Chain A
Amino acid sequence: MSQPAVRRTVIVDETVGAHHLLDNESVLGPLMLSPLLVYLVALVGVPLVLVFVYAFSDATTGSQDFSFVGLQTFQNTLADPVFRVALRNTVVFTVLAQLIVIVLATILGFVLSADFRGKWLVRFLVLLPWTTPIALSALTWLWMLDSLFSPFNWILGELHLIDVGTPVAWLGQDNLAVASVVGLNAWRTLPLAAVILMAGLTSIPPELNEQAQVDGAGFWKRFFDVTMPLLAPIMMVAILFGIVATFTDMAAVYILTRGGPGTTTQVLGSWSFYTGIQGGSLAQGAAIGIFMFPVLLGVCILMLRRASRVDVV
């Protein structure tokens, strides 16, 4: 390598203005952010403002005119017994679904972070529910839980646990319908939680567990005394995501049960939709939706605080 390197001359045309403009971070930054900003303002910001405007009015879907009526709509909403059922259901369903998710996601997190043959297949299968659009997966579940065609009924019948002549109406009985909606929500939010917990588990240095082994701790002591406390912050993140997804959900209820039987599975999301769009009372639909706001706001604040003080091990 004794011969000198070939000299190359790079010609930059200093007179091209756009070139300089894009080098400037104060121009490039906003430019690259603008698509997201347009999206957020048009599809989140404007509707959010409209909800607050409608909630204090008597707007209906039948006419473009409306007048402000103060807190009248909220009083009507609170007096509505279905609303109270929906509010209670939303909270109960969210709590139940997330309890299931915490337990299963922790187990799945261990499975996903373990090293074994064919783990790509398991990872793929675990992630599948998350990649499927909710409308599509809810339709699949609707069929799975159909009183006539349900594979669950078929299996139970084959096992002689139920009488084939009187199939279980999964969505027709109060408790089973609730269980179905909770189950669907848990099934749907589980993959993301499992992946988050997997990331959390892999971030725990393996020698902490080895140290605990040498220190004489058995599996459960290691799990509850070392792994769980270190996993807790990241588990919190997974739960917060799950809460947002479940609390605001309407698709699961809308497709599976339409809130039935009766109003047993009605939640804020679905009741807001039925009242505001199908019932035509935009104002009351908006007012129902607003009751989700404080919970979601609280969750957002928790999330942001979590994100801003990540504990470095």
Chain B
Amino acid sequence: MAEVEVRDIRKSFGAGTAAVDGISLTCRDGEYLVLLGPSGCGKTTLLRMIAGLEHPTDGDILIGGRSVRALPPRARKIAMVFQSYALYPHKRVEQNISFPLEAQGLSKEERAEKVNWASELLGIAHLLQRKPRQLSGGERQRVALARALVREPQVFLLDEPLSNLDAKLRASARLDLKQFQQRVGVSTIYVTHDQVEAMGLGDRIAVLNLGRLQQVGTPEEIYHRPANTFVATFVGSPPMNLLERDGRIIGFRPENIELEKGAAARDDATIFRSRVLRVENLGADRYVYLRVKDETGDKNVIAKLAIEHPLRVAADDDADLIVRNRHLRTFDRSSGQLIAA
């Protein structure tokens, strides 16, 4: 168990642009830190540099306060779970889990003991004699986790471990992952492009884009106080609505919108005139697609309204959009950065 710190780390492949362009970030001891970003944002490269599979062009990596920049992967006391789980296809589950222990040179008895402990913990004791191809996606994930666990690493590095599972399994696998980490208490760095996973799993989330760190914070901070327009639109589904007004960008979440016809001006809220394009009923919620005129032209806005509230507007109606001022966020128009209220 240890703190992981990257300092002003940089990685460029060839002469092209940097995949990771100067990121400084700390994963605290025992913390579950999620690296979130679209594909190509550098999150996997960052993880691979922490693992030692890529060599940083610049900057330093510290695990437990010690620089590991010069150390090969096997000397870093880390465990990694790949997106594909990378189980050794020719080895039985038992041999897969004991492989890191063999590499450490443990005796047969010690290995058997640890394999049993890890497989009991992950509920795969009955699968030990199977080959990886005889396992389901969820079982493979657990074998990969068990193999990561037996080394008793200082840090877990997980690279999109849920993306190979089908949607049904994913929710339960997420719960398993979180409970597992809470039980073993090892610092975990988790890479994903799925904001639902990030919000659900992370103690803190680091949002990356174009090789740069956009914001680090708790899921609440990321969601309610996005540091810039990228984070505002990347996190949340549907994303935050952005409109231009008075030379600034203002943003508000779809669920913070109230719709009314002919609303009167209020002190505690801002009102936008809009036209309803379409209403979608999604069971628990409905999405209302609206068109709002702002300083640069027509913008589409999505409102998310609970189904219990009766909807008094229909397609092609004019409707007024009411957003309480405490739900409004303001961003600088040129830099996109949040302007503190």
- Contacts of B185-242 to chain A: CB distance below 8 A: none
Q: Which chain A residue lies CB-closest to B81?
A: A211
Bound-complex Cα distance A217 to B52 (A): 13
**Nearest CB in chain A: distance from B201 CB, A:** 21
Interface contact B84-A205, CB-CB below 8 Å: yes
| Contact among B51, B72, B99, B133 with A225 in the assembled complex (CB-CB below 8 Å) | B99
With A230-B90, A313-B89 given, is the CB distance from A216 to B82 under 8 Å?
A: no
Q: Is B79 an interface residue (CB 8 A)?
A: yes
Interface SS of B by simple majority:
mixed
- Contacts of A199-247 to chain B: CB distance below 8 A: 205, 207-208, 210-218, 221, 225-226, 229-230
Bound-complex Cα distance A217 to B104 (A): 8
Interface contact A207-B147, CB-CB below 8 Å: no
Contacts of B104 in A (CB 8 A): 216
Interface contact B89-A216, CB-CB below 8 Å: no
Contacts of A205 in B (CB 8 A): 84, 86
Q: Which chain A residue lies CB-closest to B77?
A: A216
Bound-complex Cα distance A15 to B202 (A): 71
Contacts of B38 in A (CB 8 A): none
Q: Which chain B residue lies CB-closest to A312?
A: B133
Contacts of A229 in B (CB 8 A): 90
With A207-B82, A211-B82, A212-B99 given, is the CB distance from A217 to B74 under 8 Å?
A: yes
Q: Is B289 an interface residue (CB 8 A)?
A: no
User: A-B pairs with CB below 8 Å: how many?
Assistant: 64
| Contact among B79, B80, B88, B147 with A226 in the assembled complex (CB-CB below 8 Å) | B88
Q: Which chain B residue lies CB-closest to A213?
A: B73
**Nearest CB in chain B: distance from A226 CB, A:** 6
Interface contact B73-A214, CB-CB below 8 Å: yes
Bound-complex Cα distance A276 to B73 (A): 64
Interface contact B151-A215, CB-CB below 8 Å: yes
Task: Give the interface size bracket for A toward B.
Answer: 20 to 34
How many residues of chain B have a CB within 8 Å of chain A?
24
Contacts of B70 in A (CB 8 A): none
Bound-complex Cα distance A208 to B99 (A): 12
Interface contact B74-A216, CB-CB below 8 Å: yes
Bound-complex Cα distance A226 to B86 (A): 11
Q: Is B78 an interface residue (CB 8 A)?
A: yes
Bound-complex Cα distance A216 to B150 (A): 12
Q: Is B137 an interface residue (CB 8 A)?
A: no
Bound-complex Cα distance A208 to B144 (A): 12
Q: Which chain B residue lies CB-closest to A209?
A: B86
Interface contact B72-A208, CB-CB below 8 Å: no
Bound-complex Cα distance A226 to B100 (A): 12
**Nearest CB in chain A: distance from B190 CB, A:** 16
Bound-complex Cα distance A217 to B88 (A): 13
| Contact among A207, A217, A312 with B86 in the assembled complex (CB-CB below 8 Å) | A207
Q: What would be 20 A-B contacts, judged by CB atoms less than 8 Å apart?
A: A205-B84, A205-B86, A208-B88, A210-B80, A212-B99, A213-B52, A213-B73, A213-B74, A214-B53, A214-B78, A214-B79, A215-B103, A216-B74, A216-B100, A216-B104, A216-B151, A225-B102, A230-B89, A230-B90, A312-B133
**Nearest CB in chain A: distance from B13 CB, A:** 12
Minimum-distance CB pairs A-B, first 8: A216-B103, A211-B86, A216-B74, A215-B100, A207-B86, A213-B73, A229-B90, A214-B80
Contact code string B76-120 (vs A, CB < 8 Å = 1, else 0): 001110101010111000000001101110000000000000000
Interface contact B82-A210, CB-CB below 8 Å: yes
- Contacts of A55-110 to chain B: CB distance below 8 A: none
Contacts of B78 in A (CB 8 A): 214
Bound-complex Cα distance A211 to B51 (A): 10
Q: Which chain B residue lies CB-closest to A313?
A: B89
Bound-complex Cα distance A302 to B7 (A): 57
**Nearest CB in chain A: distance from B77 CB, A:** 9
Interface contact B151-A213, CB-CB below 8 Å: no
With A210-B53, A226-B88, A230-B90 given, is the CB distance from A218 to B74 under 8 Å?
A: yes
Q: Which chain A residue lies CB-closest to B79?
A: A214
Q: Which chain A residue lies CB-closest to B100?
A: A215
Contacts of A213 in B (CB 8 A): 52-53, 72-74
> Could you list 10 further interchain pairs (A-B, Cβ under 8 angstroms) beyond the known A217-B74, A218-B74, A226-B88?
A205-B86, A210-B51, A210-B80, A213-B72, A214-B51, A214-B52, A214-B79, A216-B73, A221-B103, A312-B133
Q: Which chain A residue lies CB-closest to B95?
A: A225
Interface contact B103-A210, CB-CB below 8 Å: no
**Nearest CB in chain A: distance from B70 CB, A:** 15
**Nearest CB in chain B: distance from A203 CB, A:** 12
**Nearest CB in chain B: distance from A306 CB, A:** 16
Interface contact B86-A210, CB-CB below 8 Å: yes
Interface contact A214-B89, CB-CB below 8 Å: no
**Nearest CB in chain B: distance from A249 CB, A:** 34
